[in-house]
Amino acid sequence: MRPQYVVLAIPVVALVATVWLPFVNTATLWLGLPSVMVWTGAWVLAITPALCLFEFSRGQRDADRAEAERGAKR
Amino acid sequence: MSATLAVTLVGIVIIGVLGFVGRRKATGDLSEWTVGGRQFGAVTMWFLQAGEVFTTFTFLGMAGLAFTGGVAALYALPYIPLAYVGLYFLGPIIWRRSHDRGHLTMADFLADFYDSRLLGFVAAVCGVVFLLPYLQLQITGLGLAVQVATGDQTSSTVSIIIAFVIVVAFVLWSGIKGVATTSYFKDALMLVVLLVLVVAIPAHFGGGIGPTFHKVLAEHPGMLTVHAGEFDRSFFFSSMIASTLGVLFMTLPHQWPALLSAGSPRAVRRNYVFLPIYSLALALPMIIGFTALIVLKQGSDSNAALLTLAQRAFPDWFVGLVVVGTASAAMVPAAGLIVGMSSLIGRNIAGRSRSDRHQYLVNQGSVVGTTGLALVLAITRPDLLANLLLLTYSGLDQLIPGIALALLPRRVVGLWSVLAGLVVGEIVVIWLTFGDVYSGHVNVGLIALVPNIVVVAVVALLVRAAGKQPTTTPEDKRVSHSAPR
């Protein structure tokens, strides 16, 4: 499995598991906010950089492919 | 006329003007009207789809749900970003096939893949029937905002009639382009209003966000956990999963024009990369809902919690701005809903075997008809916001097996499997919702998906046992830019 998939799976699993994690689903505050709110907010934010990994590596792959095609034509 | 009502009406007119600016020249082409020539870039797409995320449900309903259910309301925060993770991969597949084959609606996509106008018709009917409460929800939300802010029922009714006559007018003229131009204004206004509210309201009533949550922890510790009761773990988990699946598999008809209006698969992908950041804004009204816990009495109108606190903390003109924010959260998503519903009626229900011109005219008529019906329902049967949305998702979730299987390159089950599963799923949803037979907290849409999928599989096996195999795939057909015939 490509490492990008593993990185993307982490926030997905963390968000789906939110309500089943006893240290998250508890009456406590993290940074002055409910722990459930901080947990879900942080992992939602993590999705964008995780998807960026795919998008940037795709850009590099697409560029490599275009370069290879140009080389083949020469 | 109060300052609040004056600011509200001016704001509603500004939204309408921006909607008309979206299109310079009149069009009689349904494709241009519905998906804007398929040429939107990532930024326009971002505002268009972000605009759909933030409705009156999220603005008023999320604060209300936090007030009544505490952190259980947070199920609504992750489900859209989770769906975007999947749509980053599925969105370009849908876009490419729809672009190549000229699809404008979800029903076009299904009818083409399964080679069945009947399935397209049934999916379109489901789309319109289950989306109508969602449209009504936007109207009810706007009416509630004006009523709470002005204390006057007549002002509320007049405001929603004016607002939705304006929405119908600019949607008829501009189509999806009007939704896009109003989305810029709406998202900017919503964010500014929410940021002011989320700083000022906790500061005014609780001494700041941190001290407010410390008071909630001291007075209502149960609200900081997902605990037993109406909003328990089953509610949180199943609502999140059901809503995620619904968005992921594009079961909401108004998702389709927004996606298909993209200029390229790259615009689609980039959009889904950055949209999760915007979804965090959903937490802002929830913070205000928590503040209401230490200010309002238990049993107060939960959907009015945000506006009640705003009214107590701000001068009339700013309350008017908050109502304009609510109005934009109602009018802009409503415009997108109307585009999604009317294109289904014009393309797949009433005008499915007629000319493109006839489809366009039916489409324009249904813009007026569906909005008029929703307006009448909103005035005569205003219901609780959140429950309506969950009913919408439950019904539309039954389209998941059909759409998911249509994303495969080859057809592995045929028309009758998907149709039978859909019918059984819808019957179970209606039975569980209105039959007074289920009192659990698991999302009924998710429950109904089980018999739906089982029926799809059983009918597929029976069809295979009878020696009939689904053979045609989309790749076998030539590109067509007309509706599936």
Lowest mean pLDDT among B164-168, B286-290, B347-351: B347-351
**Measured between alpha carbons, how far is B175 from B462 in angstroms, rounded to an integer?**
44
**Measured between alpha carbons, how far is A66 from B80 in angstroms, rounded to an integer?**
34
> B319: burial class by Cβ within 10 Å (0-12, 13-18, 19+)?
buried
Among the partner-chain residues B88, B226, B272, the one whose CB lies closest to the CB of A25 is B226
pLDDT score of B480 more than 50: no
- Please list every residue in chain A whose beta carbon sits closer than 8 Å to the beta carbon of residue B280: 41, 44-45
What confidence score (pLDDT) does residue B34 get?
86
**Measured between alpha carbons, how far is B66 from B62 in angstroms, rounded to an integer?**
6
Location of structure tokens 């999140």 = B240
Phi and psi angles of residue B355, each rounded to the nearest 5 degrees, phi first = -70, 165
**Measured between alpha carbons, how far is B180 from B333 in angstroms, rounded to an integer?**
10
| This prediction's pTM | 0.89
Lowest mean pLDDT among A2-6, B208-212, B219-223, B306-310: A2-6
Mean pLDDT of B61-84: 92
What confidence score (pLDDT) does residue A61 get?
66
Contact B217 A26 (CB under 8 A): no
By the CB < 8 Å criterion, does A16 face chain B?
yes
Angstrom CA distances, B130 to B105, B123, B238, B239, B341, stand at: 16, 11, 19, 17, 10
Question: Residue B271: enclosing H or E segment and its boundaries?
Answer: helix B265-279
Cβ atoms of B445 and B397 closer than 8 Å: yes
Is the alpha carbon torsion for B286, B448, B411, B349 positive or negative? negative
What confidence score (pLDDT) does residue A66 get?
61
Contact A28 B224 (CB under 8 A): yes
By the CB < 8 Å criterion, does A29 face chain B?
yes
- Nearest chain B Cα distance for residue A3, angstroms: 16
Question: Residue B74: enclosing H or E segment and its boundaries?
Answer: none
**Average pLDDT over all residues of chain B:** 88
What confidence score (pLDDT) does residue B483 get?
41
Question: Residue B151: enclosing H or E segment and its boundaries?
Answer: none
Closest CA to B139 of B55, B20, B65, B64: B55
Banded pLDDT at B133 (limits 50, 70, 90): confident
In this prediction, what percent of chain B has a pLDDT beyond 70?
A: 93
By the CB < 8 Å criterion, does A7 face chain B?
no
**Measured between alpha carbons, how far is B387 from B49 in angstroms, rounded to an integer?**
23
Is the alpha carbon torsion for B391, B395, B401, B405 positive or negative? negative
Helix axes B444-465, B233-248, angle to 10 degrees: 50
- Please list every residue in chain B whose beta carbon sits closer than 8 Å to the beta carbon of residue A5: none
Cβ atoms of B468 and B414 closer than 8 Å: yes
Cβ atoms of B444 and B392 closer than 8 Å: no
By the CB < 8 Å criterion, does A4 face chain B?
no
By the CB < 8 Å criterion, does A40 face chain B?
yes
Banded pLDDT at B130 (limits 50, 70, 90): confident
What confidence score (pLDDT) does residue A67 get?
60
Among the partner-chain residues B224, B240, B276, the one whose CB lies closest to the CB of A47 is B276
- The one-letter code for the residue type at B237 is F
Cβ atoms of B258 and B276 closer than 8 Å: no
- Please list every residue in chain B whose beta carbon sits closer than 8 Å to the beta carbon of residue A43: 78
* Helices within B314-399 (DSSP H only): 316-344, 356-380, 385-397
Nearest chain B residue (CA) to A48? B273
What confidence score (pLDDT) does residue B469 get?
67
Contact B225 A27 (CB under 8 A): yes
Phi and psi angles of residue B470, each rounded to the nearest 5 degrees, phi first = -65, 125
What confidence score (pLDDT) does residue A71 get?
60
What confidence score (pLDDT) does residue B408 get?
94
- Nearest chain A Cα distance for residue B441, angstroms: 15
What confidence score (pLDDT) does residue A60 get?
61
Closest CA to B39 of B106, B99, B127, B122: B99
Number of CB atoms found within 10 A of residue A56's CB:
13
What confidence score (pLDDT) does residue B484 get?
38
Q: Which residues contact B440 (CB under 8 A, 6 or more apart)?
A: B234
Residues of B near A (Cβ–Cβ under 8 Å) read 71, 74, 77-78, 81-82, 84-85, 88, 209-210, 213-214, 217, 221-222, 224-226, 233, 236-237, 240-241, 269-270, 272-274, 276-277, 279-280, 283, 286, 290
Question: Residue A29: enclosing H or E segment and its boundaries?
Answer: strand A29-30
- Nearest chain A Cα distance for residue B49, angstroms: 16
What confidence score (pLDDT) does residue B222 get?
92
Instruction: Enter the ipTM.
Output: 0.88
- Nearest chain B Cα distance for residue A69, angstroms: 20
Closest CA to B325 of B164, B165, B134, B195: B195
Number of CB atoms found within 10 A of residue B298's CB:
8
Tokens read off for B206: 């609780």
Per-residue pLDDT tens digits for B369-424: 999 988 887 887 765 444 556 678 899 999 999 999 999 999 999 999 999 999 99
Mean pLDDT of B48-56: 80
pLDDT score of B134 more than 60: yes
Cβ atoms of B126 and B396 closer than 8 Å: yes
Cα B19-B350-B419 angle, rounded to 5 deg? 110
Nearest chain B residue (CA) to A50? B273
- Nearest chain B Cα distance for residue A6, angstroms: 13
Closest CA to B143 of B132, B123, B157: B157
Is the alpha carbon torsion for B27, B30, B32, B34 positive or negative? positive
Among the partner-chain residues A37, A44, A55, the one whose CB lies closest to the CB of B71 is A37
Selected for mutation to probe chain B from A6, A20, A21, A36 (highest B CB count within 10 Å) is A36
Nearest chain B residue (CA) to A42? B280
What confidence score (pLDDT) does residue B117 get?
92
Choose the most confident range, by mean pLDDT, from A52-66, B88-102, B292-306: B88-102
- Nearest chain A Cα distance for residue B52, angstroms: 18
- Please list every residue in chain B whose beta carbon sits closer than 8 Å to the beta carbon of residue A44: 77-78, 81, 276, 279-280
What chain B holds in terms of domains, given with CATH numbers, is: 3-386 (1.20.1730.10)
- Please list every residue in chain A whose beta carbon sits closer than 8 Å to the beta carbon of residue B224: 26-29, 34-36
SS3 letters across B121-147: HHHHHHHHHHHHHHHHHHHHHHHHHHH
By the CB < 8 Å criterion, does A36 face chain B?
yes
pLDDT score of A69 more than 70: no
Banded pLDDT at B479 (limits 50, 70, 90): very low
Per-residue pLDDT tens digits for A8-38: 999 999 999 999 999 999 999 999 999 999 9
What confidence score (pLDDT) does residue B251 get?
95
Mean pLDDT of A51-69: 73
By the CB < 8 Å criterion, does A13 face chain B?
no
By the CB < 8 Å criterion, does A57 face chain B?
no
pLDDT: is B203 or B386 the higher one? B203
